[in-house]
Structure 1
Amino acid sequence: MGYYEQETPPAREERLIVGDSFAGKGCDALDCAKSGCMLRKGRRFWQANACQMMLSLMMAVTVENSVIILHSPIGCGSMLHSLEIASARGKSRRGKAATGAIWLSTNLQESDVINGGEKKLKDTILYADREFHPEIIFVVSTCVPNIIGDDVEDVVKEVGEGTQAQVTAIHCPGFKSRVVASAYDSFYHSIISHIQLDPIPYKDYQPVERFDPDYGIKIRRFNAQKQMTVNIFNATSIGPDDEAELARLLHAIGLNVRVYAEYSSAQELRLISHAGLNVSMCNVHDDYILKYLEEEFNIPYIICGMPIGFSGVRTWLLEIAEHYEIADKAKSLIDSEEKQLREALKPLLPQIQGKRVMIDGGVVRSLSEAIMMKELGVEVIGVNAYHYDDGTDPVLRQFSQEWSDVPFAVSNQIYEAINQVKKLKPDLVISHAGTHGWLAKAGVPSMHLFDVEKPFFGYAGIYRFVRKMQFALKNTSYVDRLAKHTQLPYKEEWYDKDPFYYITD
């Protein structure tokens, strides 16, 4: 039985070579993964870690006309209060109705742990379907039902037969995987398992009738339009400006573009199989569903890094263009765009060139931005990737060639990052959301690794990135003063140790 036929998705550790604890150089990481030592590494101390449920919810909350049911204690839903605000804004900026999320909880108690929570779940699904009339109901199966043995999948199948909505389960117990990227697979597995992914004739599209006198012409036109349609797959960290920039570039070489799967409706999801090519925007995010769509609907896919920086955008566009045999057209576009951008960057680059930068965040984005720093004349002095899996090897290999002597770590631990900051003394840290308060208290300016409010992809993204760097470096008085009047929760002896002292083999 393949992964897609299983009731629950595999953890990343089950289908890929993964790691969350490593320190060395990029080439060392590649060798370590091949030899198997990456799998054995761990830590004697963890300050904190993330739960895969969080990322699964980030994706599910964006789906239009859906209801989320948390099969869990009530506290698991706490972050949905902030997620629904971000989701509503994301919908609005994509031209959709800015509706808030509808979410319910089965509110599991001690008695449910003893007696089981399946009846509560059935009642909640039926209530959600009757009260809110959604198109999709996501049942989020968390730690508790997985520990006590509730058969969530059986409930979903049984109750789903009698509901108007399509009911599916996101199996994302936090204890199942140390690699939070497993959440992406969990969400996509829920889509694959119970959501219709092929269009309905006369509802989603007008089929060509065989008795039509122009059948031959119309069917060729219909198939050509389908083949020239590219699905690009987004992520929570990819904003509408990123999507618009990439759509602009693809439209310029004659391609139609759809964006999946966040901020999609049930109807849009049915059209996902009506395309000629699927394209990833992140190596670690959507390989699970891209491989399924190739297997089930015979749609080829491309995974070639993030379209960040001059080389990243060029590679991404050319891979797509070569598939359609329009590489010359793409090269002309790229040359024109690069010429305009380099001219626009001339007055800005002297203000950032030669600066020493540390990068901390998601593996593909961090490595891609490190490669872009080389193109811009900025010195990278360290990169921390939040996890490793072998799907990132092409990007890691390119990083290793560009920055062969730069320290590379697989680390999402803030205590390690702060130790590095104290030792390396970067001019700027480019880091993931949630870290900037810590970095400010350490006295170092920082900027976001990504920002869904502004473009980071394509040529608009390069220009915006340079402007953000310029702004972050212009005035550091806030972090200078804050560091003098605040204290981080680490003893001075910690800063005398190697940042990765607690990593074990």
Structure 2
Amino acid sequence: MNEIRQRLPRTREKRKGALTAFYGDSASLADELEKEEPRQRIRTYSETGDDEVIGAIRLLGRIHGSVTIIHGPPGCGAIKLEDELRAGGSPWLITNIEENDSILGADDKLREAVDRAYRTWRPEIIFILATSVVAINNDDIQSAATEKEDQFDIPVIPVFAAGFRSKTAVYGYDLVFHALAKYVLKEDPDALPLPAVNVIGTAGTRTNHIVKDLNGAGISYNNVVGGLTIAALQQSLNALASIAIDKDDSRYLLDWLEEAHGVVHLQETAPIGLAGTERWLLAAAGAGGSTEQAQAYIEEKQAAAAIGLKQQRLDGVSVFIDLPPEQAFGIAEFVEELGGEVAALSLTHADSSHVSRLREWAGRSNPQVLIQPGQPFEKINALGKLKPGLYIGLGEAAVWAARAGIAAAAVDSVDVYGFGGVQELAPLFAKALRNPSLSRYLSPGSTSYRAGWLSKSVNWHIKQEVK
């Protein structure tokens, strides 16, 4: 993988033709993404959205034994950074760059922060996360990292996020995995092959259900999910194959393991719903276990789930799904298993890796696809025009759906994966439909957007870039 020699990996836009602004049907989006260079869209108005720095923080916060030094200024953004790192659990520092530092450099502050991090926590590894100010003033992070690595005899790893190179937050995951591959994860000629499959998940991935399924199906696996460890990441180089819980988040690592170390990536969709979990477990078992044992386990779980699902059908309900791509496609398939109709998929981004799924959905209900990271005004507009019977998404955005008078199910606190996920998701959807009181209470006159604004087309502010 030649990118490892570079300071930075290419953005998702360059590597995969990622789009972060679009409104149309599934077939049209698939056509667009199949072009050699999809035409990028820009917004003439934008409310908010996570950037690559936030994406990097989400992943760094999940690496056990680490400390993250955020090399940047203080300010209101620090509240968001604190939320993300507390969610992950690893400690962090910020160098608090001030005006003079942004002009003259803040190398000394950075070295002091590394010293403090080492004295306070004695970590296994220290990450230095650059931010937009550092990307502009060009502080020599690499020299400081090399100096402190020699001093403390632990890896001190620069992660060169800027916040403006890519419009996709998942590029922050690419930056972290690139730094790990470049500086930390090295081939050991004496290491023995690992007779197991890498199970790879990233920031915020709940894994209790799928781990239980892996154990029940008798699959040998290297656990690279949820809270990551450097040891598990190092072992991943010698595994039989890799399978992802969410391919979008971990795509850079999956590609690098396959291209640089011959660890085959099992191209299976997320283990969500009955059929999705079955396919995923059988793919993993084919590389790291017994397909016969896995099949017996699957049949037992499917039979048990079928009894409860009879009472939690979505027959005829029109559903609007608002999640990152892999989760959205997986939950959409489960909605159809329950008899629901997928009216729209609202995604954070889409790229060439999603073409096959979009083609699949084009042949089903050909739902509308709205790509709108952090743009609630576009989402509210689409909800008003499509008028679905059920909204499925994350808590913060589900409030908008409830205010629009739509039954809303938030999946933030749900482990959506595996057969356990089936047992959690179906009752959640059914409960939202049975109890519309909150939506009825919030909806009358509660929208903060004017009627004139909402009367425009959903993609009114989305324009194609002019080259």
Residue 81 in structure 1 maps to residue 41 in structure 2: no
- Residues of 2 paired with 1:442 and 1:335: CA distance? 41
Aligned partner of 1:27: which letter? A
Distance in 2 between the 1:159 and 1:461 partners?
44
Q: Residue 403 of structure 1 corresponds to which residue in structure 2?
A: 365
Change (3 A) 1:325 1:139: closer
- Residues 255 and 321 of structure 1: is their aligned pair in 2 closer, same or farther, counting only changes over 3 Å? closer
Q: Provide the rounded CA distance (Å) in 2 between the counterparts of 1:402 and 1:319.
A: 24
Q: CA, structure 1 residues 282+264, in 2 after alignment: closer, same or farther (shift >3 Å)?
A: closer
Counterpart for residue 456 of structure 2: 497
**CA 1:434–1:113: 2 relative to 1, 3 Å:** same
Distance 2:146 2:303 in 1: 56
Q: Does 1:470 align with 2:430?
A: yes
The equivalent of 1:249 in structure 2 is: 213
Equivalent residues in 2 for 1:126-275, closer than 5 Å? 126-196=115-185, 226-227=194-195, 229-239=196-206, 243-260=207-224, 262-275=226-239
**Deviation for aligned residue 1:198:** 6.0
SS at match of 1:24: strand
1:327 aligns with 2:291: yes
* Maintained 8 Å contact 1:371/1:399: no
Q: Which moved more, 1:192-201 or 1:150-159?
A: 192-201
> One-letter code of the match for 1:503?
I
Contact map agreement 2:23 2:458 (CA 8 A) in 1? no
Shift of 1:73: 0.3
Q: 1:150 to 1:437 in 2, by over 3 A?
A: same
- 8 Å Cα contact 1:7/1:153 also seen in 2: no
Q: Kindly state the Cα deviation for residue 358 of structure 1 after the two structures are TM-superposed.
A: 0.7
**TM-score, normalising length: structure 1:** 0.85
Counterpart Cα distance in 2 of 1:266 and 1:407: 41
The structure 2 residue matched to 1:445, chosen from 407, 427, 432, is: 407
User: Are 2:306 and 1:342 aligned?
Assistant: yes
Aligned with 2:269: secondary structure? coil
> How does 1:412-431 map onto structure 2 within 5 Å?
412=373, 413-431=375-393
Identity %: 24
Q: Secondary structure at the match of 1:263?
A: coil
Amino acid at match of 1:437: V
In structure 1, give the amino acid aligned to 2:369.
F
Letter in 2 for 1:15: R
2: CA distance, partners of 1:487 / 1:329: 53
Match of 1:457 among 411, 417, 420: 417
8 Å CA contact 1:245, 1:458 repeated in 2: yes
In the aligned structure 1, how far is the partner of 2:67 from the partner of 2:204? 22
Amino acid at match of 1:138: F
- Partner Cα separation in structure 2 for residue 339 and residue 258 of structure 1: 28
**Paired letter, 1:140:** L
The answer to whether the Cα contact below 8 Å between 1:118 and 1:150 also exists between their aligned partners in 2 is yes
Q: Do 1:358 and 1:380's aligned partners in 2 also have CA atoms closer than 8 Å?
A: yes
How far 1:132 moved relative to its partner? 2.2
| Partner SS state of residue 114, structure 1 | helix
Per the TM alignment, residue 187 of structure 1 is displaced from its structure 2 partner at its CA by: 1.5
Give the deviation of 1:196 after TM superposition: 4.1
Letter in 2 for 1:175: F
Structure 2 equivalent of residue 484 of structure 1: 444
Instruction: Using the TM superposition, give the Cα deviation of residue 184 of structure 1 relative to its aligned residue in structure 2, in angstroms.
Output: 1.2
Report the CA distance between 1:57 and its aligned residue.
0.8
Residue matched to 1:48? 48
Corresponding residue of 1:24 = 24
**How many residues are treated as equivalent by the alignment?**
462
Going from structure 1 to structure 2, the CA distance change for 1:186 and 1:157 (only over 3 Å counts) comes to same
CA deviations on 1:361-399 (whole Å, 9 max, x unpaired) are 211211221122111101222111110111222322322
Checking the alignment, whether the CA contact within 8 Å between 1:247 and 1:257 is kept in structure 2 is no
> Which one-letter code corresponds to 2:84 in the other structure?
L
Deviations 1:319-351 (A, max 9, x none): 2233358434433332332222112212222xx
The residue that corresponds to 1:379 in the other structure is 341
Q: Which residue of 2 aligns with 1:278?
A: 242
CA-based RMSD: 2.3
CA contact (8 A) 1:456 1:465 kept: yes
CA contact (8 A) 1:60 1:262 kept: no
Q: Distance in 1 between matches of 2:14 and 2:107?
A: 28
Name the CA distance, whole Å, in 2 between partners of 1:195 and 1:48: 34
Provide the C-alpha distance between the structure 2 equivalents of 1:109 and 1:200, rounded to a whole number of angstroms: 46
Are the structure 2 counterparts of residues 278 and 338 from structure 1 closer, same or farther at C-alpha, using a change threshold of 3 Å?
same
Structure 1 position 317 matched with structure 2 position 317: no
Q: Deviations over 1:245-299 (max 9, x none)?
A: 2223333343222322541333343333342221111221112112222334332
Q: Which moved more, 1:24-33 or 1:158-167?
A: 158-167
**What SS does the aligned partner of 1:67 have?**
strand
Deviates more, 1:376-385 or 1:393-402: 393-402
Q: Which amino acid aligns with 1:495?
A: L
Structure 2 gap segments, 5+ residues each: none
* Conservation of the 8 A alpha-carbon contact between 1:358 and 1:426: yes
2:27/2:359 contact within 8 Å kept: yes
Q: Give, in whole Å, the separation in 2 of the partners of 1:433 and 1:36.
A: 36
Contact 2:61 2:86 in 1 (8 A): no
SS in 1 for 2:197: strand
C-alpha contact 1:133 1:164 (8 A) present in aligned 2: no
With 141-150 and 243-252 compared, the bigger mean Cα shift is at 243-252
The residue type paired with residue 321 of structure 2 is I
- CA separation of 1:116 and 1:272: change in aligned 2, threshold 3 A: same
Give the counterpart letter for 1:397 in structure 2.
R
Q: Where do 1:351-366 residues align within 5 Å?
A: 352-366=314-328
Unaligned runs of 5+ residues in structure 1 are 89-100, 202-206, 208-221
Q: What SS is found at the alignment partner of 1:168?
A: strand
Q: Deviations over 1:172-230 (max 9, x none)?
A: 211111112111101211221222456798xxxxx9xxxxxxxxxxxxxx75xx22x12
